[in-house]
Structure 1
Amino acid sequence: MDQEVNEARLVEGKVDYVQDAGEDLKQSARNNGTTEETLRRFRAKIDRCEAFEDQKSIVGCGKCRSCGQPFGGRMSGDDGDIDDDQSVLSDVGTSSRGKRSRHRTARNPSINSSRDPEDTMERSNKAKHKIYTPKHRHVDDNEFKAEIRREIAYLFDAENPDIRVADAQQIKRFEGTKKAMDGPNLDDIYFDFDGPSPVTPWNTRIAHLLTKKYVSEPGVMVKDEVRVKKAFTQRLRKLHTSYQQSLRLLSPDEVAAEELKTRYVNRKARQYYQRNRRERVAMTLAMKGPTMARHADLWKTIPQEACSEDEEIIYASGPRFEKLWDHLDIAQRYGPDGKPKGKGRFPHFRFQPNPPRKNIDAPIAHGLPLNFYDPLWYSTLDELEKEAINAQPAVDLSLPRKILSFAQRHAHIRTRADRPIPL
């Protein structure tokens, strides 16, 4: 008899734990048409799990980790049967999606750290539910904010809806006298938006007048002056931002200057990306032999200014050998089967312009090996200019024939749809 009492208490504890939402579980079951008889059968099914020892033996609230038998099931309001393929909480918890996730993690964090692989695979095929409850602003609050916007919109002239700004002397006079006659009025509204902040005595006076006008009207939604004034102040902040943005209209010369600045920034970004990409390839191939290791050490000293994006494709030791490293980078994106590995877009390939583009304003890279500079251009420099460049001794840029052949097989590739030349 005592054993039956203990078992009954154990079953009661199991049911209390599984019903994480408490009354929410019962209410959800009633909403889904589930009868009390079904809940009773659900408790009986838990009782049949003999190896159920404590709360930690639950995996995903669907199976016992010891015996692997499901103790939950889908509740049906039609015939009261329980489907063993899915846990009860999968369907009962649909009315409160957040409950199901908190039941697994927040209440017993040790559950996720000891999941059964088979059970995890089974539950991964189920529909993914949100683990949070979206919060939306109340409908009344939305309507109140709309009324605030309409109240300010009524102040503008329908034929000239632009924001008008008060004279600086008038604003200064109002700040000194604090008299209503020197301040703003709602019949002919002007704002103080020239400063960096909209919170000024002038704009505060406007918010005060709007608040008094709003709460005095019959049928308004909110009569609390503090809340209304706060809403008007927030709206004035939005208008201040819009006005400041409208002042940023540039002249044609300023637009041209902005375009040049944008091109310069983009060019520096491309050079930085290309330099790091080429160095990464050199570091990857450094283990192929002492020659490649020497190139890896060389790339550590090459600055981004020395990485042009418009080089000719010449496989030779000379100042234009950097394109070779771009082809080696593309080659590493393919597997042995000749297909691209992984996902992602390939780097954009830039073609050499004809005639070559010259940029006399480009900075000169200092401290490079002597054979990195154009011989004809270098011969035109005087001794002071050569000393400023600080050219280092020439280095051997030759590469193994196997590496050159490997790069040439991928020289034509532009997109993921292209394939390397077979051996």
Structure 2
Amino acid sequence: MVRIAWAQTLSLVDDETILQQLSHLAETLIVGARDWLYAACCREWGTPCNPQGVPQPLLILGMGKLGGGELNFSSDIDLIFAWPEHGETRGGRRELDNAQFFTRLGQRLIKALDQPTMDGFVYRVDMRLRPFGDSGPLVLSFAALEDYYQEQGRDWERYAMVKARLMGDNDDAWSRELRAMLRPFVFRRYIDFSVIQSLRNMKGMIAREVRRRGLKDNIKLGAGGIREIEFIVQVFQLIRGGREPSLQSRSLLPTLDAIAALHLLPENDVAQLRVAYLFLRRLENLLQSINDEQTQTLPADDLNRARLAWGMKAENWPQLVGELTDHMANVRRVFNELIGDDEADTPQEEERSEPWREVWQDALQEDDSTPVLAHLADEDRRQVLTLIADFRKELDKRPIGPRR
């Protein structure tokens, strides 16, 4: 990690290589920890096998920036755990069914990576992208994953799965089966224009959340930020990816190259998006390097502003802000031309229902500051939010996958 940071500081390698090296380091540590713990668990409980006696592995999907090979210095890692077939362990002191074995293995792996020690921690591990999030099983069989994504997979899960990548040596039969199973969920064989409205709605929700939480100067979620570049690229991946294999890359920059080669955007727009993305990702990396903090918000103090300006090779803070403003304006223009602004054309019915949608989405966070319930007394407001949260949890407890 220090070597990579030093290389970035002295510009010994380009920014794209820095992101790839950080991702490769994380993958190596994740796979190494998984393999060591798998062997330890097998010694304790036996080897998990299917009914035919074939040993079953734990497969790990790296999501988000890890899956795309675009990890930051202070990124958390988004993971999904899966195993192929049901069965029981063999050869151990006592038998466990495979679901129990892999759940315990997954818990130990998360603890090894995420738990702080006197030497710090390895990575913050986020498992919320798995089916049903925190309320769902920690590890799922292939059959359960397939049933979930076929029957209940939501739009945002489809977008997230674009970047999914199996960690480690993944050319075995189990890995090929999992990739083949997930591909139809992500990349449709027909041209799917419905994703434009879905992405527009998602962007509108993000913008409202930014306002509600008072997130100013956010280079990821703000207008023209990193998220809008990702949405622009995903529009083409999800609309045409089923018919254009070159659009199925997990990484953003190769996909931009494919968009240019297919003439889906003007060359100048693609060039501006590429430059803006690399600029924003370098700035994000430097931001997070200052205090090893997962942030995308520009600093307010002079010292950290000076550090960022130096790291971005700007003469001073105003020059850096000027360059940033230009890049984000270019991104915003392309985004509005392609996807549009959900804030500007939200139908009246959608506008009226939005406060209640926010209550539904925020209930599990027990956020009692939402204005739609402001007329209630504090205790009544908390009771309403608790009831909604309990209802959501009951929905999330529905079984996944009847097949074994």
TM-score if structure 2 supplies the norm length? 0.17
**Looking at CA atoms only, which structure, 1 or 2, has the larger radius of gyration?**
1
Structure with greater proportional strand content = 2
Higher normalized contact order (CA 8 Å, seq sep 6+, divided by chain length): 2
Structure with greater proportional helix content = 2
